[in-house]
Amino acid sequence: DADVTQTPRNRITKTGKRIMLECSQTKGHDRMYWYRQDPGLGLRLIYYSFDVKDINKGEISDGYSVSRQAQAKFSLSLESAIPNQTALYFCATSGTPAGGPHNEQFFGPGTRLTVL
């Protein structure tokens, strides 16, 4: 089974709808991240979380919110989706259960979101 899973893998929605993307991990990592990828722009950080009680905005947080329901779960919400939020969204985790370097990130398979 995959260590970092994302649901759904693909989603098509309409402008104005509320959308939630979910991420779960079995790696025991404390830190989790949400990125979006747009063609030709690479990946950009939306939000990140150090632990359940610590959530931080990334480079492009406007129009998004997150929830860290548990150490293993980190959800991304689009309260009112708009077409320019059409992108590939990645969840990532970092950290080791016993401590140590926190910089290597492990990515989920991605969620392709289309907003019409």
Partner 1 sequence: AQKVTQAQTEISVVEKEDVTLDCVYETRDTTYYLFWYKQPPSGELVFLIRRNSFDEQNEISGRYSWNFQKSTSSFNFTITASQVVDSAVYFCALSDDSGGGADGLTFGKGTHLIIQP
- Site of interaction with partner 1 (CB under 8 A): 31, 33, 35, 40-45, 48, 50, 56, 58, 88, 90, 92, 94-95, 101-107, 109-110, 112
- Give the nearest distance from C-beta 41 to partner 1 in angstroms: 6
10: number of Cβ within 10 Å: 9
Min dist CB 114 to partner 1, Å, is 14
Which has the closest alpha carbon to 61: 82, 44, 86, 74? 44
Decide whether 63 or 106 has the Cβ nearer to partner 1: 106
State in angstroms the smallest separation of the CB of 16 from partner 1: 27
Of 6 and 85, the one with the shorter C-beta distance to partner 1 is 6
Answer whether 28's CB lies under 8 Å from 97's CB: yes
In Å, how far are 13, 14, 42, 74 from 36, measured between CA atoms? 17, 19, 8, 15
